[in-house]
Amino acid sequence: MLLIDILLPGLVLGGMYALIALGLTLQYGVARIMNLSYGETLVAAALSAFSLFMGLQLSPLLALFLAVPAAAGLNWLLYRYVLMPLLRRHSDGGAREIDSILATFGLLFVVQGIMLVAFGGQYYSYSYLSIPVVVLGSTLAVNRLVALAFAVAIGAAVYLALTRTRVGTAVRALAVDANAARLVGIDVALLSGLAFAAGGALVAAGGVLVSMFLTFNAAMGVVFTMKALVVVIMGGIGNVMGTLAAGLLLGLVETAVARLVDPGLTLAATYALFLLVLLVKPAGLFGTAQR
Amino acid sequence: MYNCSRRSTLRLAALAASALALGASGALAQDKLRIGYTISKTGPYAGGAGITTLPNYELWVKDVNAAGGIKLGDKRLPIEIVEYDDRSNSEEAVKAIERLANQDKVDFILAPWGTGLNLAVGPTLNRLGYPHLAVTSVTDKAPELAKRWANASFWLGTSAQISNALAELLGKLKSEGKIGGSVAMVSVADQFGIELASAGREAFKKAGLNVAYDKTYPLGSQDIQPLVKDAMAAKADVFVAFSYPPDTLAITEQAQLLKFNPKLFYVGVGTAFPLFKGKFAANSDGVMGIGGWNADSPALKDYLARHKAATNKEPDRWASSITYASLQVLQQAIEKVGKVDRAAVAAEIRSGTFDTILGKVKLKDGLLQEVWGVGQWQNGEFYALAPTSLPGARAPVVPKPEWK
């Protein structure tokens, strides 16, 4: 069954793309900070998971309980003490974006440098839940399925939190217009910090989960930042469901092209799809055009 | 964003100051041998440089200085290192080499990691007249470049040598009836993969093998499963992947998941890394890959122990020991010449015979000829198999055992 053999592995790959992009959609889409050190956070989480697994035999799934709160805390501190003073300087969105890009660009090298000192440049990889499971005649790896399940669960949870809770509504108001949100009594600084910290927690979860099946080193962060950026922009900035859909779509297209056309064209297919979406729907699949 | 770490900037400043002081009082007798290098500490090449090149540079400097230094005339000079990070960028690497030669005025320069960077800095090192020991570069251009650049030497053979060694082994196994005649081949779509695959196509044909599946994949692919599934469908006895470390691990993991167990399973760069054994444990048994070493040699056993003690990790079983041996050659060449005469040292490297951890080393036309193309994990060690004519070649285990 070639169709199922494309569909299932495609969704699993797409789930991984969505997983690594979900945090960025909160940080960029809601907190309005284009975090260029995003991939480094992911790699740091992956390296932590590796160390915990090799040193203490701690399962990466349990490591999530350590990595996620730690990342949320660190990202909140980062927002509160590094990014907020920068953002306060301007009320204009464009200038804020430039400041945050420059600051996080610097941060990228700081985080990367620390990881290089601690871990060196070599590759890391370990095996966890690398067990085959046959679903509808197609063989999949349990660790990748777990990542897909987490992507869907996290995506749904964040979506519900944003649409069904009072805080979520306030966060969305913030994403639309921070100045107007202030007028109706929303604590902008607090909520932006919250969204940024939540984004950091999600990317750490992504890092821990992908470490189960990807090979990584301290210098690889930018690869993940790029992929996440493509997924987030394609899905519509700040739209959680859009990110999930865009990630899954990318996975499906890559797998289909690899099986039906030529594995050498997967990268070309990714960017062709990206271009097509931007041409047809410039605000992304689920995005709404602004003004 | 600066090209060198802060420590090396400080060192640079200190060096500049001492160079000024020295300059004022004329050429004083040398009390140190200054050796510089540029290495990819960040960027995509950091993974390779961090396992093969940098630990061996560090180990060698430690070993030499522990013995008092390099002997120049009747004096031993300790080595002092000047290090830059080229960020995996060829322009940065060239700039760093220029700086090492012109500002830091180092006595010798060690090579960067990887084929791309070595080819990029080749012309500069040639112009500046520094010996260039391009260890970690695999290219079919090597013989031609060695002719053009008298200061250069190449230590990992050519793509054709690796593919020929593999084809020779496959041809032999086929004639012994151990494998059928068809090969499924995948390769990474960059210069390394393309050269090995095209040399492989030719060599396999000559050895009477038929390439049933032949596809490339882009660098940095995050899911390799479709490729492995299609290769599996080709029902070949032999699977060959000219791959990079992350893909080597991903392909092996997928093959294991899909229970794809061809009689001969050969994967690319990274198979020889200790990481491979660490990740796959007993499942690494029987997997073949690029490289290999004569693990029974006492000199290499001793090297393995020293490498572990000094850097806290094992070396890879391909280019690590060759990197270390190339540095021994450099040291012995300097000692034979007896002074910092770079042209004479470069000529000595190409013409002399040296005692190294690999045994006696003598280059031919600037190339190390005795290079392993195929190794195999057997009981937790990555033994060299081919070219089968080289001393120390071990017998292959074929068919490979089932995945556990």
Is A262 within 8 Å of B215 when comparing Cβ atoms? yes
Q: At what angle do helices A188-210 and A60-78 cross, to 10 degrees?
A: 150
Angle at B195 between CA B190 and CA B200, to 5 degrees: 125
Exposed, middle or buried, B270 (CB in 10 Å: 0-12/13-18/19+)?
A: buried
Closest-CA distance of chain B to residue A132, Å: 5
The phi, psi pair for B110, rounded to 5°, reads -95, 160
Peptide bond before residue B399 is cis, with ω within 30 degrees of 0: yes
Cα A129 to chain center, whole Å?
A: 22
pLDDT of amino acid B362: 94
Instruction: Tell me the C-alpha distance between B40 and B90, whole Å.
Output: 10
pLDDT of amino acid B106: 96
Which residue of A lies nearest to B256 if distances are taken between CA atoms?
A: A132
- Are A13 and A269 spatial neighbours (Cβ–Cβ below 8 Å)? no
Is A263 within 8 Å of B215 when comparing Cβ atoms? yes
Return the biggest CA–CA distance within chain B.
75
CB-closest option in A121, A215, A255 to B223: A255
Instruction: Tell me the C-alpha distance between A170 and A191, whole Å.
Output: 8
pLDDT of amino acid B22: 44
The phi, psi pair for B340, rounded to 5°, reads -80, 75
Exposed, middle or buried, B111 (CB in 10 Å: 0-12/13-18/19+)?
A: buried
Which residue of A lies nearest to B43 if distances are taken between CA atoms?
A: A219
Is B222 within 8 Å of A124 when comparing Cβ atoms? no
Instruction: Tell me the C-alpha distance between B130 and B151, whole Å.
Output: 7
- Are A211 and A50 spatial neighbours (Cβ–Cβ below 8 Å)? yes
Peptide bond before residue A69 is cis, with ω within 30 degrees of 0: no
* Average confidence (pLDDT) over B232-243: 93
pLDDT of amino acid A95: 80
* Average confidence (pLDDT) over A174-198: 85
Instruction: Tell me the C-alpha distance between B395 and B172, whole Å.
Output: 11
**How many residues are there in chain A?**
291
Kindly state the tokens that stand for B30.
């040398």
Residue B75, Cβ neighbours under 10 Å: how many?
A: 12
- A139 and chain B: CB distance < 8 Å anywhere? yes
Q: Which of B230, B385, B376, B189 is nearest to B198 (CA)?
A: B189
Residues of chain B contacting A221 with CB distance shorter than 8 Å: none
What is the tens place of the pLDDT at every residue in A208-255? 999 998 888 888 888 899 999 999 999 888 788 889 999 999 999 999
* Average confidence (pLDDT) over B77-99: 94
The three-state secondary structure class of B274 is helix
Query: pLDDT category, A291, cuts 50, 70, 90?
Result: very low
CB-closest option in A112, A120, A254 to B223: A254
* Residues contacting B209, CB < 8 A, separation 6+: B167, B170, B171, B174, B181, B182, B183, B238
Residues of chain B contacting A121 with CB distance shorter than 8 Å: 40-42, 46-47, 49-51, 54
Residue A139 pairs with which residues in a beta bridge? A134
Which residue of B lies nearest to A53 if distances are taken between CA atoms?
A: B279
pTM, 2 dp: 0.84
Average pLDDT score over chain B: 89
pLDDT of amino acid A21: 92
* Average confidence (pLDDT) over A147-155: 88
Q: How far is CA B323 from CA A90, A174, A236, B193, B317, in A?
A: 54, 57, 49, 22, 11
Is B227 within 8 Å of A263 when comparing Cβ atoms? yes
The three-state secondary structure class of A266 is helix
Is B226 within 8 Å of A263 when comparing Cβ atoms? yes
* Of A28 and B111, the one with more pLDDT: B111
CB-closest option in A120, A140, A258 to B227: A258
pLDDT of amino acid A130: 83
The phi, psi pair for B109, rounded to 5°, reads -125, 135
- A114 and chain B: CB distance < 8 Å anywhere? no
Residue A167 pairs with which residues in a beta bridge? none
Is B229 within 8 Å of A5 when comparing Cβ atoms? yes
- Are B398 and B178 spatial neighbours (Cβ–Cβ below 8 Å)? yes
Q: What residue has token string 């061996």?
A: B56
Intra-chain end-to-end CA distance of chain A, in Å: 47
Exposed, middle or buried, B96 (CB in 10 Å: 0-12/13-18/19+)?
A: buried
- A127 and chain B: CB distance < 8 Å anywhere? yes
Closest-CA distance of chain A to residue B337, Å: 36
pLDDT of amino acid B8: 53
Q: Which of B250, B261, B243, B210 is nearest to B226 (CA)?
A: B250
Closest-CA distance of chain A to residue B93, Å: 17
Is B226 within 8 Å of A267 when comparing Cβ atoms? no
Stretch (H or E) spanning A167: helix A166-176
The phi, psi pair for B401, rounded to 5°, reads -65, 155
Instruction: Tell me the C-alpha distance between B341 and B108, whole Å.
Output: 10
Query: pLDDT category, B20, cuts 50, 70, 90?
Result: very low
pLDDT of amino acid B5: 52
pLDDT of amino acid B133: 96
What is the tens place of the pLDDT at every residue in B332-381? 999 999 989 999 999 999 999 999 999 999 999 999 998 999 999 999 99
* Of A255 and B30, the one with more pLDDT: A255
Stretch (H or E) spanning B350: helix B342-351
Which residue of B lies nearest to A117 if distances are taken between CA atoms?
A: B41
Which residue of A lies nearest to B230 if distances are taken between CA atoms?
A: A259
pLDDT of amino acid A272: 92
* Residues contacting B213, CB < 8 A, separation 6+: B184, B185, B186, B230, B231, B233, B234, B236
Is A215 within 8 Å of B250 when comparing Cβ atoms? yes
What is the tens place of the pLDDT at every residue in B248-291? 999 999 999 899 999 999 999 999 999 999 899 899 999 999 99
Q: Which of A264, A215, A202 is nearest to A20 (CA)?
A: A202
Intra-chain end-to-end CA distance of chain B, in Å: 47
Kindly state the tokens that stand for A17.
């793309």
Stretch (H or E) spanning B63: helix B54-66
Q: Which of A6, A272, A136, A270 is nearest to B226 (CA)?
A: A6
* Average confidence (pLDDT) over B25-37: 75
Kindly state the tokens that stand for B63.
């070993």
What is the tens place of the pLDDT at every residue in B52-74? 999 999 999 999 999 999 999 88
Instruction: State percent of chain A over pLDDT 90.
Output: 34
Quickly count helices (H) and strands (E) in chain B: 14, 16
Closest-CA distance of chain A to residue B7, Å: 12
Residues of chain A contacting B56 with CB distance shorter than 8 Å: none
Angle at B4 between CA B41 and CA B130, to 5 degrees: 85
Is B253 within 8 Å of A130 when comparing Cβ atoms? yes
What is the tens place of the pLDDT at every residue in A94-103? 787 888 888 9
Q: Please give the single-letter amino acid code of residue B354.
A: F
Angle at B46 between CA A17 and CA B88, to 5 degrees: 95
B interface test, pick of A125, A134, A250, A267 with most B CB neighbours within 10 Å:
A125
The backbone region for A136, taken as left when phi is positive above 0, alpha when psi lies in -120 to 50, beta otherwise, is left
Is B222 within 8 Å of A13 when comparing Cβ atoms? yes
Is B230 within 8 Å of A251 when comparing Cβ atoms? no
- A7 and chain B: CB distance < 8 Å anywhere? no
pLDDT of amino acid B24: 40
Is A264 within 8 Å of B223 when comparing Cβ atoms? no
pLDDT of amino acid B26: 38
Is A141 within 8 Å of B279 when comparing Cβ atoms? no
